[in-house]
Structure 1
């Protein structure tokens, strides 16, 4: 029941601002369910994969895939970097000690928390213009951004939407609703690559050992994401983003600061 309620609450709050809440599930898995960091990352990634698939199916009813094809090159540009980043980072994470991985996760979660606080006061608006008109500049920047986002997503077991959406909006000048769907196109292959890489780790057995937790956490997360989407606009996005940013900073610092 704790897993279902935790997944539901986290995904509901995240869904109200267009996120799946995976960055909040990680402290839950480590702090409440006492999973070792690598096992928590793998379980979080498996849950995120199911949530993202459901989210993409739901968004396809509102924004058909045909609307994405003219912007498909953006997804390919980011994927060219994110696939390599996810593969490399997942492999590197498996070689780290528990304490080193805890410190890495702490740094990344604190960075995401600060980003959320920044987004709460600085609203994304590109004015429909790409950051650079020169494709020879834009494409390498997209590769680099994809590389970094793929690495972060692999280490934390998240879809990366909190990084992908601002990147697509600000770098490529895409409208935010369309950017949300494009981010899912990038997230799915990126998460699959990281997931396959983690199969080489003995910690991957957590999916069978914690099968019950995975099922209830996933069910709660999917239902929460749907609920959050229906409640979109109930709370001002800036206020909710700021609150979640502070919560992420606090929970990450409390759980990971000493490597437990």
Structure 2
């Protein structure tokens, strides 16, 4: 789909897209950035690197708001008790985000599209696995505390930081199952810790991208950014209100299928 030719229409489309993505994200407990990226490229016609930077800036806003909003249910003191988990993952994710963002800026458009396609397909399959296999629902700790778990945490953090930088996402869909399965924590606490890891990880990637010419998209598309952000906030609130109306596994299955189809449609032949 081509970018809208009329600014008012484009503004309205931005609000609508933000609202729909925010609603979907609110329903399944994610920020929706993985769904936003194909929309930015396919609907609004942003080049891939510009769309990633735009998506990352939007994700920063969403994560900051979500982290503050969760402080009532998961206070800072409780999170500090498990600060070691966040530090373990952060030690890897900060390096991964910096490294991946640097390579994304030098990669050709064709190869960047291919990498993004593979990562989005992987996230879609993860959503489908969570829906039907119950990944992230809580289970026995896979690895007991020790050097092995420390090294696995570093490796997982590095990979998650790379994905977050290359897609402009917060990485919660990867962080939450990792924290639950690797460290054996409650899924609600894992959600707050994932936000605490995501915020500095995205800031590092964002700082790295600030050196790219494509960073100018945030100034050129500030109206679209504002309307999408407003729509996303309202959509997230609506998604929270609708929570429980749709069976979780059916909703996650549908969204996984949507992400899979949109990823192929947007990036497979987009050079």
What TM-score do the two structures reach when normalised by structure 1?
0.97
- Partner residue of 2:166 out of 148, 155, 158: 155
- List structure 1 runs of 4+ shifted beyond 4 angstroms: none
Q: Does 1:79 align with 2:90?
A: yes
With the length of structure 2 as denominator, give the TM-score of the two structures.
Answer: 0.93
User: What are the Cα deviations for residues 147-206 of structure 1, in whole angstroms up to 9, with x where unaligned?
Assistant: 000000000000000100010011111111110000000000000000000000000000
Partner residue, 1:220: 231
Most deviating of 129-138 and 105-114:
129-138
Shift of 1:219: 1.2
Following the alignment from structure 2 to structure 1, what is the Cα–Cα distance between the partners of residues 79 and 28?
A: 21
Partner of 1:92: 103
Q: Distance between the aligned counterparts of 1:98 and 1:137, measured in 2?
A: 38
Provide the aligned C-alpha RMSD in A.
1.0
Q: 1:7 and 2:18 equivalent?
A: yes
SS at match of 2:259: helix
| From 235, 258, 262, the counterpart of 1:247 | 258
- Structure 2 match to 1:32: 43
Q: Trace 1:158-197 onto structure 2 (pairs within 5 A).
A: 158-197=169-208
Show CA shifts across 1:112-166 (max 9, x none).
0011111100113333x42111411111000000000000000000000010001
Structure 2: how far apart are the matches of 1:134 and 1:187?
23
1:90/1:197 contact within 8 Å kept:
yes
Distance across 1 between alignment mates of 2:145 and 2:65:
36
Moved more, 215-224 or 135-144: 215-224
Tell me what 1:125 maps to: 137
1:103–1:259 CA contact under 8 A, matched in 2 = no
Instruction: Name whichever of 246-255 and 218-227 sits farther off.
Output: 218-227
What CA distance in whole angstroms lies between the structure 2 residues aligned with 1:222 and 1:50? 10
> 2:4 corresponds to which residue?
none
2: distance between equivalents of 1:9 and 1:115?
Answer: 21
How many residues are matched? Answer: 259
Instruction: Please report how far the alpha carbon of residue 70 of structure 1 lies from its aligned counterpart in structure 2 after TM superposition.
Output: 1.1
Secondary structure of 1:259 counterpart: coil
